[in-house]
Amino acid sequence: MVDIITKKRDGHALTPEEINFFINGYVTGAIPDYQASALTMAIYFRDMSDQEIATLTEAMVHSGDTVDLSGIRGVKVDKHSTGGVGDTTTLVLAPLVAAAGVPVAKMTGRGLGFTGGTIDKLESIPGFHVTLTPEQFIRSVNEDQIAVIGQSSELVPADKKLYALRDVTGSVESIPLIASSIMSKKIAAGADAIVLEVTTGAGAFMKDEEGAVRLAETMVRIGRHVGRTTAAVITDMSQPLGRAVGNALEVKEAIETLRGAGPDDLKELVLTLGSLMVCAAGKMTDPGAAREQLESLLNDGRALEKFRQFVANQGGDPNVIDHPDSLPAARFQIELPAEHSGYITELAADQIGLAAMQLGAGRATKDDRIDPAAGIVLHKKVGDPVKQGESLLTIHSNRQDVTEVTAQLKRSIRFGSRSVRPKLIHGTITE
């Protein structure tokens, strides 16, 4: 291990044998944390070649169980986002592409911090659960093209250990380590093809666009190396996506979007990612034509029907689709009036995410309980004109005192004299 550390420290590429030795030894406990942290720091400074990153990813995949989805007919396409605030995408995208015939076999987790997990959002629907047996999961996908199951704790143990180590040793922000971490989990979960949403901006993991592009390119190249078609879309996460931030609030937003309405940015992102997924699944070849088909599935109600079927299959009350008001609602709804007239120039996604978390919409530690009703609904987005006194957003809270949250939200909003709208989609990277 000392030789491997000094070799990387001096800027040389590691062989597959060396990378496998490290991952196996670290997972079994033969290699101590202090040597692993020296190596991750050396990787942080010296980077890795495509070959090394692909080998590292595969070694991580094989550090634990892998999911066998071969019992599901068709090309299984998974989507992953590097995270955001109010990111309602999966709730709309999954039933939409399922309605287009793409098998959606999703394994997903709970949220930590201000990025809410898809399961937390779905569980705000009364009765909804993700505790399916593997057989039920596979049967549902074969029959109805869609099912969601909770994450198995046995997947990619190397990532769990390495991520916890990086988190406390200053080596999280390393592109080869992030890329192998994300891709190993998607591959272990059984995806044949992967569509990535790499977010950039205040609410994202990669704050600047250049880093987001490099991360996206690295992950697409890993996909090619390991034989899984991978595409990535670089998206703006400087402000929250859509208008709703919070679990039941986002389910309501998803239902509106599945009805063909909903916020423009959410709809645009869903259509962009969805058309890549439909093409990756081999259902269509032209992304433009795929997009048109997805739009018609939103407009003619078939996507919404797929969502209804999915909710009912997993024990949820399908009545929420026609009566979203039966979702959990907060006791207090408090408006935040604009202090100035002008244009909104900033709605800092990370600050708004923290405010939603303080209301109970997210978890500060992994044992915290979520309040499904809590959250924020934005009435204005960046670039919109506002008049002094007009409501900027509604706070949904089960606690009457929202003084701190209001102060936090005020700090997240800036006004100016010009309307500038951030570009939502910065680009698409394919093989």
| Residues of span 148-167 touching ligand URA by CB under 6 A | 163
Cα dist from 334 to 244, 398, 419, whole Å = 15, 11, 27
- Is residue 166 annotated as a catalytic residue, yes or no? yes
- Is residue 159 annotated as a catalytic residue, yes or no? yes
Residue 103 interaction partner, one of ligand URA, Ca ion, none, beta carbon < 5-8 Å per kind: none
Q: Do residues 194 and 107 lie in contact, with contact meaning Cβ atoms separated by under 8 Å? A: no
Q: Is 383 helix (H, G, I), strand (E, B) or coil?
A: coil
**Nearest-approach distance from CB 110 to ligand URA, in angstroms:** 14
Residue 86 interaction partner, one of ligand URA, Ca ion, none, beta carbon < 5-8 Å per kind: Ca ion
- In eight-state DSSP terms, residue 129 is -
How do 342-347 and 413-416 pair as beta strands? antiparallel
Q: Where are the alpha helices (DSSP H) in 129-239?
A: 134-144, 157-167, 175-188, 209-225
- Is residue 181 annotated as a catalytic residue, yes or no? yes
Stretch that binds ligand URA, among 22-30, 57-65, 174-182, 251-259 (CB under 6 A): 174-182
**Nearest-approach distance from CB 364 to ligand URA, in angstroms:** 18
**Nearest-approach distance from CB 251 to Ca ion, in angstroms:** 10
Site string for ligand URA, 320-359 (x = CB under 6 A): ----------------------------------------
- Is residue 323 annotated as a catalytic residue, yes or no? no
Given 78, 120, 159, 236, which residue is catalytic? Answer: 159
**Alpha-carbon 77 to chain mean position:** 15
**Given the complex with ligand URA, which of 82 and 275 has the nearer CB atom?**
82
Cα–Cα distance measured from residue 225 to residue 57, given in angstroms and rounded to the nearest whole number = 10
Q: Do residues 156 and 164 lie in contact, with contact meaning Cβ atoms separated by under 8 Å? A: no
One residue of 205, 307, 310, 343 binding ligand URA per CB under 6 A: 205
**Given the complex with ligand URA, which of 108 and 181 has the nearer CB atom?**
181
Q: How many residues bind Ca ion (CB under 5 A)?
A: 5
Which residues face 332 on adjacent strands? 397
Cα–Cα distance measured from residue 163 to residue 153, given in angstroms and rounded to the nearest whole number = 14
Give the strands of the sheet with 385-386, arranged side by side: 385-386, 342-347, 413-416
Amino acid at 367: D
Stretch that binds ligand URA, among 135-143, 178-186, 281-289, 326-334 (CB under 6 A): 178-186
Cα–Cα distance measured from residue 55 to residue 181, given in angstroms and rounded to the nearest whole number = 12
| Residues of span 181-200 touching ligand URA by CB under 6 A | 181-182
In the bound complex, which residue of the shown chain has the CB atom lying closest to ligand URA? 181
One residue of 37, 40, 82, 88 binding Ca ion per CB under 5 A: 88
**Given the complex with Ca ion, which of 88 and 108 has the nearer CB atom?**
88
Q: Which residues of 350-386 are buried (b: 16+ CB within 10 A; e: fewer)?
A: bbbbbbbbbbbbbbeeeeeebbbbbbbbbebbbeeeb
Instruction: Name which of 257, 253, 285 is nearest 271 in CA terms.
Output: 257
Q: How many residues are given for the chain? A: 431
- Is residue 139 annotated as a catalytic residue, yes or no? no
Binding site for ligand URA (CB under 6 A): 163, 177-178, 181-182, 205
Binding site for Ca ion (CB under 5 A): 86, 88, 241-242, 244
Q: Please list the active-site residues.
A: 80, 159, 166, 181, 185
